Structure 1
Amino acid sequence: MSEHLLVGVARADITPAPGIHMGGYWGRKSGATDVHDPLMAKMLTFELGTMRAALVALDLVGLDAATVASIRRRIEKGVGIPGEGIMVCCSHTHAGPLTAPFRGMGEIDETYLAEVEETVVRLAEEGMAAPQPARVAHARVEARLGINRREARQTGVEIGHNPDGPVVSYAHLVRFEGEEGLLATLFSHACHGVVLSGANHSISADFPGAAARFVERETGAPALFVNGACGDINPRKTGGSFEDVEELGRELGQAIVDGLDGVSAVKITSLRHALEEVQLPLCEPPSRLQAEVEKLALQLKAELKKIASDGGDIWAQRVPQAHLEWAQATLDWVKKGEDRERSQRFEIQVLALGGLALLGMEGEIFSRYQLELEEESPLPATLLCGYANGCVGY
């Protein structure tokens, strides 16, 4: 049992084979055609006295709560890290495989998903097998890849550009220093991984992967990216090229590397973790909703029938089929009346290393929550981690 923080570092390639269905966008015409750059799984394990915790960073669009629960159970059984102390974060690249049940995007490759789970469990074993004493330091550096994408138009709020909306104009970096040099860099910035559009069919980690590779080349140590609260933040370049991916990744990576010498030490006197499931209230359906959704469902059924009569292209059917499934689920919910569900389960998790807190929230969180929570946190350094431990409501 150590009186000092011990940190284990492990990583592995989780790049899928071409052909796998991709996540993040509707309307793709096929599965992945090739691999442009690798997808990685990386892990930090933490030990202090009898306490243990772990952070997982995956180059994936997201996972569902069931997959995360399975990962937690297996790691707890295998190496003794408590499930509530394991945070599983996804970068939210839209150029990776479909790894959560998002409607309209294709089918999950369960074999691939099982391989990812096996890899994460193995990384926990590797990290716990060779931990090293570590010092921790943190900095918040200027970085702004994103724009607020919630544009108000006459037809409502749509994806676009809202110059008056909030953005997160900084990045976090956490330096883990061992006795013989840098062990790892953890960094975070709130921005959607959508430099590449839905027209892209090449597997890629998008700008987060490019940024991590840049930091690793410059430092010679593993770099882990976790996204922030980017539900309303897109990169300033979308529908871009791989050159754009590298440019934005290099910009973020350079900000992180430049900030490594300006970090402030984090005093580690404790290792704590907490997990709570809360119930988020659902809106009451307006009285006109049932009639409107029934009308929409009829239109969608007609559209699907026409697609089928024109040859039945399965890819062309995915988007209207997804809308129809949502419509039917909405109708079923409304018709339950007083017996319908009134809330949505939502998990909030905290890993606290002394004065450093990682605040994990599942799903796509809007930036104002990050700006407010990080500012109001009682700890000196707090990082809000989005797409953590699930992806509610996507």
Structure 2
Amino acid sequence: MNLSKHIRAKANRKLQINNALPCLAALVLVLLLSVPTSFAGDFRAAVVKENITPKVPKQLLGYGARLSEGILDSIYHQILILDDGESTFALVSTDICVLSPATYDQVAKLVEQKFGIARSNFWWSVTHTHSAPEVGAPGLPEAFMGERYTHPIDTNYTDLVTTKLLAGIERGIKELAPASLGVGWGHSSANINRRAKDIDDKAFLGMDPDGPVDRKIGVLKIVHKEDHRLMVTVANYAIHGTVMGGENLQISGDVQGVVSKYVEEKSGAPMLFINGAAGNIAPIYSVYPNARAGRMNQFRRLLGDKILMANEDILKYEDQVSFSTSEMEFLTPMKEGLKWPEALNDYIVDEKGTAKTIKLPVRFLNINDKIGIWASPLELFCEISNEVRERSPFPYTFYYGYTNGWLGYMLTEEEWKYKGYEPTVSPYVPSAGTRFGEAVLSYLESELKSKQ
């Protein structure tokens, strides 16, 4: 392996893997962002819900530009705070479509300043509903779909979302209580591959019942230590928030919001919905004009009940929990002809005389050397995360997509030849997906696991 000149020795020991030049052997190197603790501590947790439903019409994000007309259901921050006696970790699930990494960076800085939570310990995931307001500047989507962003940035709503998030974290820290952790799997057939193909082998957005899919539900179950009452469920499932299409003008959490509300009502405790590798995965009912036409409530049975069943099957808990976070940067060439937004210049390496290189951040969370969670700001194709899970050294490996920003679609190399929508909104070269999966696996196997 060749050491990249892009690897920089930093105080936080950030890892980099250099995949910048196609002519070089792909992957390089790595240093841990943080050193894992060597003992399990006194585990505490708290969960907070903050309503971020606007009171006035807002520009909705997910299809063409459109102004909201009313509210179908409220949207929220669901905030989970974990503390193992050594450090504090914040996981946020927000009912919006996508988020610019630049917006994440701004909020992460505030979180660290106000609460001392390191950037690597603050994960902001969005559910990917296509019926919620825009938050912050467009970021990378503007490079592909500029016609959707001719209106001004809504700074008032962005400020509201930020203020509510900070307030929720503050409250969660104050409400930390002794907890125990359980983990398990569920299964749901609520989703389907959306890369339909006709006899000309050209892909279009539709349904492919024979295409790759990920129907596993990864469940974290956190209970009160003293009596094992449910405190919070974290459900990880890959599905686009597109039961309702562009005709819908009502604010809604879409399928993720409906399922979260249902699970909370039935279980008596909040649920964080964390999307997975949904780049090529849609709900089985998709892009309908309204919730009734799209059978939205049926997802309570199709997915909500499956999460509840998985939760009930988790009967063993760990009182002593330790966790560590780390990060790598995957460097890969940028697709030719793409005009990269200046606001995201921290996410590229621009060398004289060479193609621009994207710096794609990937986060890792290791819990008790048993649960390995990795996250990225991608709409990832499920084949990549499926393979990582199958080959991972951890008994439980979860992928959290749409996390800490949005840096486009990452396809498998095989899917590029079928063209369609997703390649047009990908900033990467076709070979990136294969190399990315191998880089993540290499990290899990050789770096993260070996530190325990």
Category of TM-score, reference length = shorter chain: 0.7 to 0.9
- Aligned with 2:297 (options 235, 246, 249): 246
| Distance in 1 separating the partners of 2:390 and 2:72 | 38
Q: How many equivalent pairs are there? A: 346
- Aligned with 2:329 (options 277, 280, 291): 277
The superposition leaves residues 76-119 of structure 1 with CA deviations (integer Å, 9 ceiling, x where unpaired) of 11111111111110000001112251333344312101211111
- Aligned with 1:387 (options 392, 402, 407): 402
Q: Does 1:22 align with 2:68?
A: no
Q: How does 1:114-153 map to 2 (within 5 A)?
A: 114-153=159-198
- Gap change, CA 1:167 and 1:337, over 3 Å in 2: same
| Distance in 1 separating the partners of 2:243 and 2:147 | 21
| Distance in 1 separating the partners of 2:103 and 2:351 | 32
Name the residue aligned to 1:86: 122
In the alignment, residue 212 of structure 1 is paired with which amino acid? S
Q: Does 1:196 align with 2:240?
A: no
- Aligned with 1:227 (options 275, 280, 283): 275
Which structure is higher in helix share?
Answer: 1
Q: Which moved more, 1:102-111 or 1:209-218?
A: 102-111
Q: Give the C-alpha shift of residue 391 in structure 1.
A: 0.4
| Distance in 1 separating the partners of 2:352 and 2:287 | 45
Secondary structure of 1:238 counterpart? coil
Q: Give the C-alpha shift of residue 258 in structure 1.
A: 1.5
| Distance in 2 separating the partners of 1:90 and 1:272 | 22
Question: Which structure 1 segments of 5+ residues have no match?
Answer: 286-325, 330-335
| Distance in 2 separating the partners of 1:328 and 1:375 | 34
Name the residue aligned to 2:147: 104
| Distance in 1 separating the partners of 2:93 and 2:321 | 25
Do the aligned partners of 2:372 and 2:394 also contact (CA within 8 Å) in 1?
yes
Name the residue aligned to 2:9: none
In the alignment, residue 202 of structure 1 is paired with which amino acid? Q
- Aligned with 2:376 (options 358, 361, 366): 361
Name the residue aligned to 1:373: 388
Name the residue aligned to 1:348: 362
Q: Does 1:255 align with 2:306?
A: yes
Q: Give the C-alpha shift of residue 234 in structure 1.
A: 0.9
| Distance in 1 separating the partners of 2:52 and 2:131 | 14
Q: Give the C-alpha shift of residue 128 in structure 1.
A: 0.8
Secondary structure of 1:239 counterpart? coil
| Distance in 2 separating the partners of 1:337 and 1:124 | 39
- Aligned with 2:73 (options 37, 40, 53): 37
In the alignment, residue 89 of structure 1 is paired with which amino acid? S
- Aligned with 2:218 (options 162, 165, 172): 172
| Distance in 2 separating the partners of 1:192 and 1:265 | 32
| Distance in 2 separating the partners of 1:36 and 1:126 | 28
Do the aligned partners of 1:98 and 1:105 also contact (CA within 8 Å) in 2?
no
The superposition leaves residues 36-94 of structure 1 with CA deviations (integer Å, 9 ceiling, x where unpaired) of 10000011111112222110100010111111112211111111111111111000000
In the alignment, residue 274 of structure 1 is paired with which amino acid? S
Q: Give the C-alpha shift of residue 142 in structure 1.
A: 1.4
Do the aligned partners of 1:362 and 1:391 also contact (CA within 8 Å) in 2?
yes
Secondary structure of 1:105 counterpart? helix
In the alignment, residue 222 of structure 1 is paired with which amino acid? P
Do the aligned partners of 2:188 and 2:217 also contact (CA within 8 Å) in 1?
yes
Do the aligned partners of 1:21 and 1:105 also contact (CA within 8 Å) in 2?
no
| Distance in 2 separating the partners of 1:373 and 1:260 | 24
In the alignment, residue 158 of structure 1 is paired with which amino acid? F
- Gap change, CA 1:359 and 1:265, over 3 Å in 2: farther
Do the aligned partners of 2:90 and 2:123 also contact (CA within 8 Å) in 1?
yes
| Distance in 2 separating the partners of 1:142 and 1:274 | 29
The superposition leaves residues 142-186 of structure 1 with CA deviations (integer Å, 9 ceiling, x where unpaired) of 102111111234373221222331101221221101034111011
| Distance in 1 separating the partners of 2:42 and 2:340 | 55
In the alignment, residue 104 of structure 1 is paired with which amino acid? E
Give the TM-score of the pair, scaled to structure 2: 0.72
In the alignment, residue 365 of structure 2 is paired with which amino acid? L
Do the aligned partners of 1:281 and 1:342 also contact (CA within 8 Å) in 2?
yes
Q: Give the C-alpha shift of residue 358 in structure 1.
A: 2.4
Q: Give the C-alpha shift of residue 259 in structure 1.
A: 1.7
- Gap change, CA 1:283 and 1:128, over 3 Å in 2: same
| Distance in 2 separating the partners of 1:81 and 1:252 | 33
| Distance in 2 separating the partners of 1:273 and 1:266 | 21
| Distance in 2 separating the partners of 1:124 and 1:327 | 36
Question: Which structure 2 segments of 5+ residues have no match?
Answer: 1-39, 342-349, 409-424, 426-452
In the alignment, residue 120 of structure 2 is paired with which amino acid? E
- Gap change, CA 1:373 and 1:155, over 3 Å in 2: closer
- Gap change, CA 1:276 and 1:246, over 3 Å in 2: same
Q: Give the C-alpha shift of residue 278 in structure 1.
A: 1.9
Q: Does 1:73 align with 2:109?
A: yes
Do the aligned partners of 1:144 and 1:168 also contact (CA within 8 Å) in 2?
no
- Gap change, CA 1:337 and 1:13, over 3 Å in 2: closer
Name the residue aligned to 1:313: none
| Distance in 1 separating the partners of 2:185 and 2:351 | 49
Q: Give the C-alpha shift of residue 284 in structure 1.
A: 5.4
Name the residue aligned to 2:205: 159
Percent of aligned positions that are identical = 26
Secondary structure of 2:132 counterpart? coil
